[in-house]
Amino acid sequence: MKIIQDIFCLILKFRTQLVSYPWQRDPESGSLYHPAQSHMVHSYEQFKEFSTFLFKVVNKLALRGYQQHLQELLLRLNFNNYYKGDGQSSLPRT
């Protein structure tokens, strides 16, 4: 699936952005900042959008009983109820 490849590409892009510059200290406030922070924030926003879309697609497929292994993937994608924070599983109990 292209969306999964795009997610992995974003992970690699974020890592490249992170290691491309060293962290620097702001002389006025003394706090640390990263020179590529705006690019990293953009990559994070894209990652969040793609991963939410992937969760929704896998959730719909798993609810229809498309493939049994999708329930396992969904469980790992929704670790700590990140996408479904209401504490209720979207999958029927087996």
Give pLDDT, residue 2.
Answer: 92
Say if residue 89's pLDDT is above 60.
Answer: no
89 part of a folded domain:
no
Concatenated DSSP letters of 48-78: HHHHHHHHHHHHHHHHTTS-THHHHHHHHHT
Give the residue among 43, 4, 3 at the shortest CA–CA distance from 20.
43
Question: What is the span of the domain harbouring residue 65?
Answer: 2-81
Say if residue 94's pLDDT is above 50.
Answer: no
Q: pLDDT-based confidence at 93, cuts 50/70/90?
A: very low
Say if residue 68's pLDDT is above 90.
Answer: no
Q: What is the pTM of this model?
A: 0.77
93 part of a folded domain:
no
Cα 23 to Cα 2, 15, 31, 72: the distances in Å are 33, 14, 10, 38
92 part of a folded domain:
no
Say if residue 73's pLDDT is above 90.
Answer: no
How many structural domains is the chain composed of? 1
